Amino acid sequence: MNDQLFRSSVSIYQGMAVNFLYMLFRFMTAARYASVWFFSMAIYYMVLCIMRAYLAFGYRRRERKGAFYELQCYRRTAGMLFILNIPMGGMIVLMVQTNSGFSYPGYLIYLSALYTLYMMTLSVINLVRFRKMDSPILSAAKILNFVSAMMSVLGLQTAMITRFSNNGEGYRKMMNAITGGIVFFIVMVTVAVMVVRSSKSKKEMEPNEEIRKQIL
């Protein structure tokens, strides 16, 4: 339990389980309120869950496949995030145009705020911590947590504006457009950084990989 790599590998499955439960919650709310926005969010988290499952499968095979395989998983995750970010941009545009938002009953909004704050803080800390570790798959898993947390921030903002703001629909549209644009931009920058880092690491690994193949 004192092994940081072991705890990190367990966190991949924990994140996948939480993501799966949250995806089911989004599908239920989409069916309950007949909301295209909620359904889009459910699909988004379903894809994130599939990506986490891919990383978990890759992490189990890393010792047999080698470090180059881990790097390939990392790079493929970057590609999948880029593809996922395109419909996510469409979701944000839909949210702004239809003035959609979340509405939490009772005190659930405060619990949601605490959860979002906790997830964002934890994802940033883990993102920095595992950046220094020699495990591209674990780094990719933490990046997925960070992206998921940012989407939670966007959803929380719409809910808080709906509950507490008296500035009208124009204000909510403006804030959703600003925050949605920031989230979209950050994800694109993250993908670009992942591609650059993977390309640099690939060039450094290629000579050693060739030697490993010759030995095998």
Q: How open is the CA angle 107-149-198, to the nearest 5 degrees?
A: 175
Q: Is the pLDDT of residue 196 over 50?
A: yes
92 pLDDT tier (thresholds 50, 70, 90):
confident
What Cα–Cα distance (Å) separates residue 189 from each residue in 78, 87, 95, 118, 199?
11, 16, 22, 23, 15
Q: How open is the CA angle 140-141-147, to the nearest 5 degrees?
A: 90
Q: Is the pLDDT of residue 112 over 60?
A: yes
**79-88, 96-105, 158-167: range with lowest mean pLDDT:** 96-105
Q: Which residue has the tokens 């670009």?
A: 192
Residue 20 and residue 18: Cα distance in Å, rounded? 5
- Positive or negative, the CA dihedral 29, 33, 36, 37 is negative
Residue 175 and residue 99: Cα distance in Å, rounded? 11
Pick from 57, 59, 56: nearest CA to 70 = 59
Q: Is the pLDDT of residue 30 over 60?
A: yes
User: Does the pTM of the predicted model rise above 0.85?
Assistant: no
What Cα–Cα distance (Å) separates residue 81 from each residue in 50, 175, 190?
12, 24, 9
